[in-house]
Amino acid sequence: MTATTVEKAATTQRAATVEFRGLRREFGATVALDGLDLTVAPGEFLALLGPSGCGKTTALRMLAGFEHPDAGEVLVDGEDVTRVPAHRRDAGMVFQSYSLFPHLSALDNVAFGLRMRKVRTSERRARAAELLELVGLADKGDRYPHQLSGGQQQRIALARALALRPRVLLLDEPLSALDAKVRLTLREEIRRLQQELGITTLFVTHDQEEALSIADRVAVMRAGKLEQCAAPAELYGRPATAFVAEFVGTMSRIPGVARDGSVEVLGRRLPVDGEAPAAGEVDVLVRPEAVQVRAEAEGDARVLATAFLGAVVRVTVRLADGTEAKADLPAHEAAGLGAGAAVRVSLPDRPVLVAERTQK
């Protein structure tokens, strides 16, 4: 792909501000969205992340115009588009299932929307060829969908969404049907294109690693509500709620006792990150990289299992009270920590996140 191709594709690309204001949507007794408020900045790549049924796809479909809220508004650059038909939304959408026309070539699939808008043949074919080059498939224009791999089909779908030069690009779990290696390559490609074009993008996924690696900010949703919206590093390092902490990345719960604004855990007192809980039993939430494990004959914890993860070894231990915790250790520190080994588990002297005690 040449710099000229990117420049051509970007010349009329317009990055938009997107706002969801108090969106509510019910499907019978199910509340899909419960007062969603969220703003996406021009040119921002925002991932909507959450478990199935949390409302993320409903929010995306409302922006696309495929769903309408029972209450609330959708605004694009300050204009209320809540009741504007989908074909007038100026949004490009890429679906999980590609949705390519099997009887059309790759080039004609990309040009389809332009044909519907009565763009003359020479112009739409030129623009489609431009976009095929942009997504690295300039030599596949005469191929039909069944002659392309899943990753190539998804690139064609992306090019088709960009053909109309939309103000907003919407991606509804576009990588979930692909194998792991292709998924990794394509998500990097999507991010690169988004940055080069500067287009406002909303990306729906239930894959936390995908969201953290690709987005400027990640909006974590649960039961139709927004739990937290922040940059990936903040979301991982300073989760606002216990749900976010446990949904984003691996987290262990270690029993502790809160009192006087701090918490006693694993034999030491640590400050609380955020609002201090009322005195009483709590769970301390810790990431594997924060858990310290060392072999000790008199240790009151036991190693249950180890797993090689490349740069680190994940060690699962059982504490004296039966609780399990996970620690990520460099390989040389994990050497000799086989199943059954006696160990001492500790935490670094820094603030910790606490949550209500989980009953077992």
Per-residue confidence of the chain (360 residues) as pLDDT tens digits? Answer: 454 554 555 444 568 999 999 999 999 999 999 999 999 999 999 999 999 999 999 999 999 999 999 999 999 999 999 999 998 888 999 988 878 999 999 999 999 988 888 889 889 899 999 999 988 899 999 999 999 998 899 899 999 999 988 999 999 998 887 888 888 888 888 899 899 999 999 999 989 999 999 999 999 999 999 999 999 999 998 898 889 999 998 999 999 999 988 999 999 999 998 887 888 999 999 999 999 999 999 999 999 999 999 889 999 999 999 999 999 999 989 988 999 999 999 999 999 999 888 765
**pLDDT recorded at residue 312:** 93
Strand arrangement, sheet containing 217-222: 91-94, 168-172, 200-205, 45-49, 217-222, 225-230
Determine the Cα–Cα distance for residues 200 and 44; give it in Å rounded to an integer: 5
pLDDT the model gives residue 11: 45
Q: Which string of DSSP letters, residue by residue, matches 265-330?
A: ETTEEEEBSSSPPPSEEEEEEE-GGG-EEEE-TT-SEEEEEEEE-SSEEEEEEE-TTS-EEEEEEE
Vertex 127 angle, CA 123 and 133, to 5°: 150
| Single pTM value for the model | 0.86
pLDDT of residue 3: 47
Pick the CATH number of 3-242 from 3.40.50.300, 3.20.20.120, 3.30.1360.120, 3.40.640.10: 3.40.50.300
**Side chain identity at residue 305, one-letter code:** A
Q: So where are the chain's domains?
A: 3-242, 252-356
> Token digits for 334?
């994990």
User: Are 193 and 134 contacting, i.e. CB atoms less than 8 angstroms apart?
Assistant: yes
Q: Is residue 275 exposed (0-12), middle (13-18) or buried (19+ Cβ within 10 Å)?
A: exposed
Handedness of CA 231, 237, 240, 246 (dihedral sign): positive
CA distance 189 to 231: 20
CA 22, CA 49: separation in Å to the nearest integer?
A: 19
CATH code of the region 252-356: 2.40.50.140
